[in-house]
Copies of this chain bind each other. A is one copy, B any other.
């Protein structure tokens, strides 16, 4: 039962989305495009004003129990659900966070995202997600504008620091009135950061190899442009130096985080640093490449070579041999990020004495397995 009169339909009532009247006075009923019930429909059916319905929706106390009950029943009956878009516009508040990530196909970023989603759910925030195709975006500005135009209450920038891909911070941040929090980037003033202590993790790993009596400890690093890779390399280097070992260029080769690059890096190392008796690898995937290579050569691990990875992916326990690694809780990273951002939002609203930004640094944990000896466990 749908009528259509070309160009002669005129709205007669601002609401009640099923009634229309044609210009010549003929009343026509048009079925609503989408039968979305509005607050007006509820009000009409209950014989009250939209305000009263709104009060019920928002659990206000200034509604008589009778009315409340009646309206609630009608809401139920009509299966009415308030339009969140309209609420956002009216309340000037969206209950949405924006999240920028990259490299979701890798295990790290997706674990972090998982921590973000669960904590956001817990705190009642929805999530608007953007994934960058590369780690550095050529158009940060329009991304920020997109989030702002969608009225997000806060932004989590979950992009690792690579080269100068965070340099926009200096120019763009001052003009940004939306709270924003960064993951896994280097210390900066006036910026809220949550990160993992890559440096200490790397130091602990290297120290373990030293303590195990190894004298020629190599490093397979992540890409030199990555801040996290730099930190891990520095941890390795400093631990060696402080124990009186000299650190030479041939003791370190860079990979690109992939197993293939790890394998290639190991091949290079075994040529250029043949005394090597241990290697600290900047992530577990690359360490897997090392293990494949040593298996092919028939090297015994840990006797001929000790290996330590970084990240603590679940699979590392089932490598052959099982891999000692520096575990970082990336899920927790995301979870804490949301908590902190929520605090920032609240602080921002009660405009008094804005708390200074903090830098939260999570400590990773060394997991001992076969690739460094016979004493599995955690330090």
Chain A residues near B (Cβ < 8 Å): 34-35, 79, 81-86, 88-89, 94, 99, 104-105, 107, 109-111, 113-114, 117-118, 121, 126-131, 133, 145-146, 148-151, 175, 177, 258-260, 262-263, 285, 288-289, 291-292, 295-296, 314-315, 317-322, 331
Contact = CB atoms under 8 A, between A and B. Distances in A.
A117 B129 contact: yes
Contacts of A146: 84, 126
Contact of A104 (B110, B177, B291, B318): B110
A127 B129 contact: yes
Contacts of A121: 130-131, 133
Q: Taking each of A85, A88, A149, A151, which has the highest tally of chain B beta carbons within 10 Å of its own beta carbon?
A: A85
A283 to B, nearest CB: 11
A117 B100 CA distance: 11
A317 B259 contact: yes
Contacts of A289: 318
B314 A258 contact: yes
List the 5 closest A-B pairs by CB distance, nearest first: A110-B110, A259-B318, A117-B131, A104-B114, A295-B320
Contacts of A127: 128-130
Given A85-B94, A317-B259, A317-B260, A113 B114 contact: no
A215 to B, nearest CB: 27
A141 to B, nearest CB: 10
A149 B82 contact: yes
Nearest to A296: B320
B331 A83 contact: no
A73 B121 CA distance: 41
A84 B149 CA distance: 5
Contacts of A322: 292
A322 B314 CA distance: 19
Given A99-B129, A117-B129, A258-B314, 7 more contacts: A34-B177, A81-B145, A89-B89, A110-B110, A126-B130, A292-B320, A320-B320
Nearest to A101: B117
Contacts of A148: 81
Nearest to A288: B318
A358 B105 CA distance: 27
Nearest to A317: B259
Contacts of A89: 83, 85-86, 89
Contacts of A35: 177
Which secondary structure characterizes the binding site on chain A?
A: helix
Contacts of A258: 314
Contacts of A145: 81
Contacts of A129: 99, 117, 127-129
Nearest to A284: B315
A111 to B, nearest CB: 5
Nearest to A287: B318
Given A289-B318, A292-B322, A320-B295, A151 B85 contact: yes
Contacts of A292: 318-320, 322
A182 to B, nearest CB: 20
Q: Taking each of A89, A126, A318, which has the highest tally of chain B beta carbons within 10 Å of its own beta carbon?
A: A318
Contact of A150 (B34, B85, B111, B296): B85
A105 B314 CA distance: 10
A86 B84 CA distance: 12
A270 B27 CA distance: 79
Contacts of A263: 318
A98 to B, nearest CB: 10
